[in-house]
Chain A
């Protein structure tokens, strides 16, 4: 059975004190498992706000988020953590924390009150580490790894958390082209081979158009959702950025800087 994430009439933004600042009003879309979705848009267009709202880190202003037919909002933190994993910015990592410790912590929703690992937890960790070629790093402190390697480890942690939905906030930021490519490839594999919903925000537009099954474009408080081809046909990419600086070639499906 296909499983789906359904966003219904969602209003996202921030409440501070008595003031409500709506970033995007009225967003609706639906994704099935096995899909890689890229959220693109200018700085401040609401990419992170949307991801954090879906991850339940930020209270939504209005509207509902459903997993199949279950409303996510009333679920316990633990139940949510079994459905959605979130990879944000690379956190400040303590010096003694090894990759295996990080992966063990990611089993948090499944472990007992002390966080002790069962056999099933261990095999899950082992499987993910094996799949992502991380076995040789398991015993290494995370601080010793490069940004690209850390990102890979955080994705591994999200996989260890074993959720049908993976949300990633700019997973390709600060990485060189090599690492960007390997991270995108890995995420595509996770979506397609492991039949998960992978939703990421990114400023790497060309790779995003290349690998994504769906694109969610956020622009001036509006969300446009569809496949890359659909959005190209709507001639929507041409207008995101200032045409004096950035051009879009619909045949190559590529953005380029105007010089």
Chain B
């Protein structure tokens, strides 16, 4: 059993490393192995600028964002004790979208809300923070988990409608900017942005780490957790804060990435056959990161001149996974 887990970890980590290397080498230009190695030490190499300015930042972004969404999904599924919870389903991404839409397309009648380079990032973060607060507020009043999901879905449609109305009155240029943001883009982060993303993810992960012990007890229900000495409010706040930061900052920098947050925790639980968050937490980070690296490789359509939007790929892969999960739902309700 223990042996088995070591094997899983070794294959998981080497899988992520392999995907990372493949991801870095792939692109409009396939970097040969020798040049790839040389570029790391020799700044004069012709591939060095591509490597350092485009490929490496993009791979790191994929790892951080995929990992964040995976962990975020895990925390939310445990917090709500619901296998269908995730950043996407509960409307957190919708909140970010609405906020970004307001900023990009609502400026004609709202004025520019947040000026500056990090306007998009700040708007998306505030949007997800807002939705998450509403969800937590609602979750304390709505006892039924199904109602809460419907709440999230309704909120999603509501923001969708608002965005539609905004886009109707928007200039085509702003509309295009919004649509491109919505398709997701892992590239384009400069070192400053990458640092900020890394910092946000680190803080988010630390908050999540502090909630792990409580979440482990939480899977047996609130009553049990409370009498076993878990401070529910503290755990809720830590987990929510962590999710919000991880999802918010990821969505802010790369756009709303669907399905990773929902699917990754299930993959982890099935692979590691455990509900122990001390194992699932790092597993979700690396499987999430690996998945997004892999999706990005597919998005490059190796051998062709086309590049697919990242969100198109994750959803293409993710939707069948979700359908499969729904079909297995009877077992699933017990899975969290």
Interface with A: B38-46, B159-167, B210-218, B316-324, which one?
B210-218
Interface size class of A (residues with CB under 8 A): 20 to 34
Interface size class of B (residues with CB under 8 A): 20 to 34
Interface with B: A37-45, A104-112, A170-178, A218-226, which one?
A104-112
**Across the interface, do A115 and B223 meet the contact criterion of CB distance under 8 Å?**
no
**Across the interface, do A91 and B221 meet the contact criterion of CB distance under 8 Å?**
yes
Closest to B232 in A: A77
| CB neighbours of A113 from chain B (8 A) | 210, 213
**Across the interface, do B224 and A96 meet the contact criterion of CB distance under 8 Å?**
no
**Across the interface, do A108 and B275 meet the contact criterion of CB distance under 8 Å?**
no
Distance (Å) between the CB of B223 and the closest chain A CB?
Answer: 5
**Across the interface, do A80 and B335 meet the contact criterion of CB distance under 8 Å?**
no
Among A57, A81, A94, A95, contact of B229 (Cβ-Cβ < 8 Å): A81
| CB neighbours of B224 from chain A (8 A) | 86, 88, 91
| CB neighbours of B220 from chain A (8 A) | 91, 93, 97, 102, 105
Q: How far apart are the CA atoms of A57 and B336 in the complex, in Å?
A: 23
**Across the interface, do B221 and A106 meet the contact criterion of CB distance under 8 Å?**
no
Q: How far apart are the CA atoms of A105 and B227 in the complex, in Å?
A: 12
B 184-238 contacts with A by CB, 8 A: 210, 212-213, 216-217, 219-221, 223-224, 226-231
Q: How far apart are the CA atoms of A161 and B225 in the complex, in Å?
A: 12
Q: How far apart are the CA atoms of A56 and B229 in the complex, in Å?
A: 11
Say if the beta carbon of A78 comes within 8 Å of chain B: yes
| CB neighbours of A88 from chain B (8 A) | 223-224, 227
| CB neighbours of A78 from chain B (8 A) | 229, 231
Among B216, B227, B273, contact of A115 (Cβ-Cβ < 8 Å): B216
**Across the interface, do A105 and B212 meet the contact criterion of CB distance under 8 Å?**
no
Q: How far apart are the CA atoms of A208 and B246 in the complex, in Å?
A: 53
A 67-116 contacts with B by CB, 8 A: 76-78, 80-82, 84-86, 88, 91-97, 101-102, 105-106, 108-109, 111, 113-115
Distance (Å) between the CB of A69 and the closest chain B CB?
Answer: 22
Distance (Å) between the CB of B112 and the closest chain A CB?
Answer: 42
Q: What mask results when residues 266 to 279 of chain B are scored 1 for a CB within 8 Å of chain A, else 0?
A: 00010001111010
Among A56, A57, A101, contact of B276 (Cβ-Cβ < 8 Å): A101
7 cross-chain pairs, A with B, having the tightest CB-CB distances, nearest first: A81-B229, A109-B229, A86-B227, A115-B213, A91-B221, A78-B229, A108-B228
